[in-house]
Chains A and B, each alone.
Chain A
Amino acid sequence: MSATETTPVKTSSVLAVLRQPLLIAIVLIGVLLAFGEALSPGFASGEQILRLLVVASLLGLVAAGQNLVILAGREGIDLSVGGIVSLSAIVAGNVMSGQDASIPLAILACVATGALFGFLNGVGVTVMRIPPLVMTLGMLGVLQGLLVVIRQGIPSGKAAPALADFVAKPFLFGLPGTIWLWVAVGLFMAFLLRRTVFGQRVYAIGSNEHAAFMAGVPVKRMRVAVFTFSGIFAAIAGLCLLGYSGSSFSNVGEQYMVPSIIAVVFGGTPLAGGKGGYTGTMAGAVLLTILQSILTTVNIDESGRQMIYGATLLVLMLFYGRGRRMRG
């Protein structure tokens, strides 16, 4: 996959601009791995890298939906993804209760949960005209409240053995199922953005919503759809997370909100939307996961990590803001 989600055929100029973030990300991934290896030998071993990729794929799944929402523009952002991950993990865990036979039903319930809350976000943003930032932040609050009510603080739900195996154990050619799932999502996103009318409409409304409207693009329906996609991807991530950790514990999803945005922005999709793609976002997810792992290795706790994430996002905004001005 190349970084040309924007165009079906590669051209040197478009490629040159879009390759930059991807190239930077890949170089940084190498640097961080080397740095990790130097800090703690074995950090960049094959086994360890596989484990990192599994963790990265969970973030990558969440970031896929985030990516669509941001691409569609008009200050599109989904702050509720963390809440949806948590809730869908709990729904899936309770439906399957450790039984392999219940997995299909659990998947259905889990995806339906994500789709529902994503859809509600979309309706709030389009029909009720609530800014995405406010709408999804409010939704996050609702979801957190809901979690407290459902859970009452007691861990509940249990992953089925087959799910746990799929997520973490080698599934095909020695790679765990989650990684394969992520690759499939990567291919799906590339196809969606480059080869479908839906994808082109996402870019169109992200670049000039009014012109898209005047060319007959169903702008509101599109916006509801991208938020629904975001909910669904977060739910799939929640399902994998359940398999990864065995049972669902409180607020498992919270850790994904800011990193999913950073991964998208780092991957070359500006917060203003309209350009970029998912390939870069995948690299961004890997990069962030390695960074997180290094921070854990050097014993920086969760709050410290949050601060570093926040600072990273600000630095990125500064970097890309400057870049645009120079190009213009």
Chain B
Amino acid sequence: MSKLELSGVSKTYGATVALRRGDLSVEAGEVHVLVGSNGSGKSTLCKIVAGSVKPDGGRVAIDGEPVAIGGPKASKAKGIGIFYQELSLAAHRTVEENICLADMPVTAGLFVDRKALSKRAEKYIALFETVSGDDFAAETVVGNLRADQRQLVEIMKTLATEAPILIFDEPTSALDRAQAERFFEILGDLKAEGRSIIFISHRMDEIFAVGDRVTVMRDGETVGTRILAETEPTAVIQLMVGSKDDLAEAAVNPPDAAERSGTPVLEVSGFSGPGFRDISFSVAAGEILGFGGLHGQGQSAVLRSLFGAEPYGGGRISLEGTPVHYSNPRDAILLGMAYVSGDRGRDGIVNGRPIFENVVPVHFLRNGLKIVQPKVLKKRVDPALDALRTKYASLWQAINSLSGGNQQKVVIARWLVDQPTVLLLDDPTKGVDLSAKSDLFALIRELAREGMGIVLYSSEDAELLNNADRILVFNQGRVTRELTGADRTRFNLYHAAYEAAS
């Protein structure tokens, strides 16, 4: 009998199927690894176990007993402890307070029992004593800790639940090697105690070092479970990829490389900054260069720094063969750069203002305009919006009245009134409907044909494989692999993404 068993669990949000059929069976005394690409449904599955998402169908059983997990409190009562990837610590509280936050020892039913609290926390702090650093103490305020130390506190907090079932969602992302190894030793001890551990990781070396079995998810379904000792990393990746290796027609036959000879429109070398190191690449006129890899491996950070929105530490940038220096988006725009963010609410739309005012700012800047002439500008704005097949009633309606996809089209149109030299796309289709996506990619290919250099980062692997002529795979802030021509397969992309960073 399994400790935890999920069978045929599903969840849909409106028209989006987040989880089609999730099956998972975890034994007592086992480290069970859960893998799958972005959007494969593994985090939804974990949320169902944690009680923060209610499944639409399926069966969840603990110790063979069917259970309904009504909320985070209920899941705690059922003996489930979860490590949250998005840190859930109270920044102004001390390490020991955070460790015991979920279950504060109290005296007289009212007052926090400081002594009991310290004593309880002490045990978990001691576990990591050798690797937590000299400045780490029970009384340290969490906000003053380094990222890796905060992650250790999060782990301690999860351990402090003493739950028989523990879920760790990427617990080692900020840890150094010694810290991660200590954590794996502790996992081994927990296993020996008979606890069940669900472990989510994107590092093949980790997965094979600590896991007993692995369950692979793809497109919202559980596609298989393997015993790790009897399998190979490539076999796991093959399971994640499935049989389809989808290269669209355009991508199968990328424009002739000879057409793109000559000076690259964008050349970057030795580029370093917060979250990325020593990045070098060049983009030819007419080329769509893809940035791939797991989420948050430095792709966005590189693009933002390239646009001048974040400072960068070092490196050289050349535009059309000329070395350039700039430190803000304004100067980057004047040099012919354009940037479209996937986070349009923060970086893109000017809320509550008309569509017109959302399109024209870049045109004003690039042409040094001072006076607004709506009739003249309309002739420039309309074609830019039409190129993307934007649906709107009037240029003077507030941008908020449009759908997400059309809002993003308006933001993109901003860059098309005057054609830039380089277009940086930072996961531009996040939260955009399918038809808007296809309009967008058709336009991007068209822009490339006209000679623009395009850099595309997408968190959806299919988008990259279908649209990029060349893909740089990012892993922990570095480019670890370049995929060109027939090498641009889902398998190779995953393989490079899940490799241990060297």
A residues adjacent to B (C-beta < 8 A): 6-11, 13-14, 194-201, 203-204, 207-208, 210-218, 274-275
Q: With A8-B372, A196-B372, A214-B339 in contact, is A201–B361 under 8 Å at CB?
A: yes
- Cα A204 to Cα B362 with chains together (Å): 12
Chain A residues lying within 8 Å of B307, measured Cβ to Cβ, are 214
Across chains A and B, which 3 residue pairs bring their CB atoms closest together, nearest first? A8-B374, A215-B361, A216-B365
Q: Would A6 and B353 count as touching, CB distance under 8 A?
A: yes
Q: Does B333 contact A (CB under 8 A)?
A: yes
Q: Would A218 and B347 count as touching, CB distance under 8 A?
A: no
Binds A, one of B99-107, B314-322, B394-402: B394-402
Interface members, chain B 312-369 (any A CB < 8 Å):
328-330, 333-334, 339, 341, 346-354, 356-357, 360-362, 364-365, 369
Interface size class of B (residues with CB under 8 A): 35 or more
Chain B nearest CB, measured from A207 CB (Å): 5
- 19 A-B pairs within 8 Å (CB atoms) are namely A14-B354, A195-B371, A195-B373, A197-B364, A203-B350, A204-B353, A204-B361, A207-B353, A211-B348, A213-B309, A214-B307, A215-B350, A216-B329, A216-B330, A216-B333, A216-B361, A216-B362, A216-B365, A275-B352
Chain A: CB-nearest residue to B337: A216
Chain B: CB-nearest residue to A11: B396
Q: Would A212 and B362 count as touching, CB distance under 8 A?
A: no
Chain B: CB-nearest residue to A197: B364
Chain B nearest CB, measured from A46 CB (Å): 39
Chain B residues lying within 8 Å of A210, measured Cβ to Cβ, are 346-347
Residues of A contacting B: mostly: helix
Chain A: CB-nearest residue to B349: A211
Chain A nearest CB, measured from B359 CB (Å): 10
Q: Would A194 and B372 count as touching, CB distance under 8 A?
A: yes
- Cα A232 to Cα B374 with chains together (Å): 29
Q: Would A211 and B350 count as touching, CB distance under 8 A?
A: yes
Chain B residues lying within 8 Å of A9, measured Cβ to Cβ, are 374, 395-396
- Cα A194 to Cα B372 with chains together (Å): 8
Q: Would B353 and A197 count as touching, CB distance under 8 A?
A: no
Say which residue of B348, B352, B372, B373 sits within 8 Å of A274 (CB atoms): B352
Q: With A11-B394, A216-B361 in contact, is A208–B371 under 8 Å at CB?
A: no
Chain B residues lying within 8 Å of A11, measured Cβ to Cβ, are 394, 396-397
- Cα A215 to Cα B395 with chains together (Å): 19
Chain B nearest CB, measured from A197 CB (Å): 5
Q: Would A204 and B396 count as touching, CB distance under 8 A?
A: no
Q: With A214-B341, A216-B361 in contact, is A207–B370 under 8 Å at CB?
A: no
Q: With A196-B372, A207-B353 in contact, is A212–B396 under 8 Å at CB?
A: no
Say which residue of B328, B333, B357, B369 sits within 8 Å of A204 (CB atoms): B357
- Cα A13 to Cα B352 with chains together (Å): 13
Q: Does B414 contact A (CB under 8 A)?
A: yes
Chain B: CB-nearest residue to A213: B329
- Cα A199 to Cα B371 with chains together (Å): 9
Chain B nearest CB, measured from A255 CB (Å): 33
Chain B: CB-nearest residue to A194: B372
- Cα A194 to Cα B354 with chains together (Å): 12
Q: With A11-B394, A207-B353, A214-B341 in contact, is A197–B369 under 8 Å at CB?
A: yes
Chain A: CB-nearest residue to B414: A215
Chain B residues lying within 8 Å of A8, measured Cβ to Cβ, are 356, 372, 374, 396
Chain A nearest CB, measured from B232 CB (Å): 45
Q: Would B351 and A274 count as touching, CB distance under 8 A?
A: yes
Interface members, chain B 368-390 (any A CB < 8 Å):
369-374
Chain A nearest CB, measured from B496 CB (Å): 30
Q: For the A-B complex with A11-B394, A217-B330, A274-B353 known, give 13 more contacts whose Cβ atoms are closer than 8 Å.
A: A8-B374, A197-B364, A197-B372, A200-B372, A204-B357, A207-B353, A211-B346, A211-B347, A211-B351, A214-B348, A216-B361, A216-B362, A274-B352
Chain B: CB-nearest residue to A195: B372
Say which residue of B347, B357, B373 sits within 8 Å of A214 (CB atoms): B347
Chain A: CB-nearest residue to B372: A195
Counting chain B CB atoms within 10 Å of each CB, the highest count among A7, A195, A212, A214 belongs to A214
- Cα A213 to Cα B332 with chains together (Å): 12
Q: With A214-B329, A215-B414, A216-B330 in contact, is A200–B357 under 8 Å at CB?
A: yes
Chain B nearest CB, measured from A208 CB (Å): 5
Chain A residues lying within 8 Å of B333, measured Cβ to Cβ, are 215-216
- Cα A155 to Cα B354 with chains together (Å): 51
Q: Would A7 and B329 count as touching, CB distance under 8 A?
A: no
Chain A: CB-nearest residue to B307: A214
Chain A residues lying within 8 Å of B360, measured Cβ to Cβ, are 200
Chain B residues lying within 8 Å of A212, measured Cβ to Cβ, are 350, 361
Chain A residues lying within 8 Å of B373, measured Cβ to Cβ, are 195
Chain B nearest CB, measured from A8 CB (Å): 4
- Cα A167 to Cα B354 with chains together (Å): 39
Q: Would B362 and A215 count as touching, CB distance under 8 A?
A: yes
Q: Would A203 and B346 count as touching, CB distance under 8 A?
A: no
Chain B residues lying within 8 Å of A13, measured Cβ to Cβ, are 397
- Cα A211 to Cα B339 with chains together (Å): 11
- Cα A210 to Cα B348 with chains together (Å): 8
Counting chain B CB atoms within 10 Å of each CB, the highest count among A7, A10, A275 belongs to A7
Chain B residues lying within 8 Å of A201, measured Cβ to Cβ, are 361
- Cα A6 to Cα B357 with chains together (Å): 9
Chain A: CB-nearest residue to B354: A7
Chain B residues lying within 8 Å of A198, measured Cβ to Cβ, are 370
- Cα A7 to Cα B373 with chains together (Å): 12
Say which residue of A10, A199, A207, A215 sits within 8 Å of B352 (CB atoms): A207
Q: Would A14 and B346 count as touching, CB distance under 8 A?
A: no
- Cα A172 to Cα B329 with chains together (Å): 50
Chain B: CB-nearest residue to A215: B361
Q: Would A203 and B329 count as touching, CB distance under 8 A?
A: no
Q: Would A200 and B374 count as touching, CB distance under 8 A?
A: no
Chain B nearest CB, measured from A182 CB (Å): 24
Chain A residues lying within 8 Å of B372, measured Cβ to Cβ, are 8, 194-197, 199-200
Chain A nearest CB, measured from B47 CB (Å): 28
Chain A: CB-nearest residue to B395: A9
Q: With A196-B371, A213-B329, A218-B330 in contact, is A203–B353 under 8 Å at CB?
A: yes
Chain A nearest CB, measured from B101 CB (Å): 32
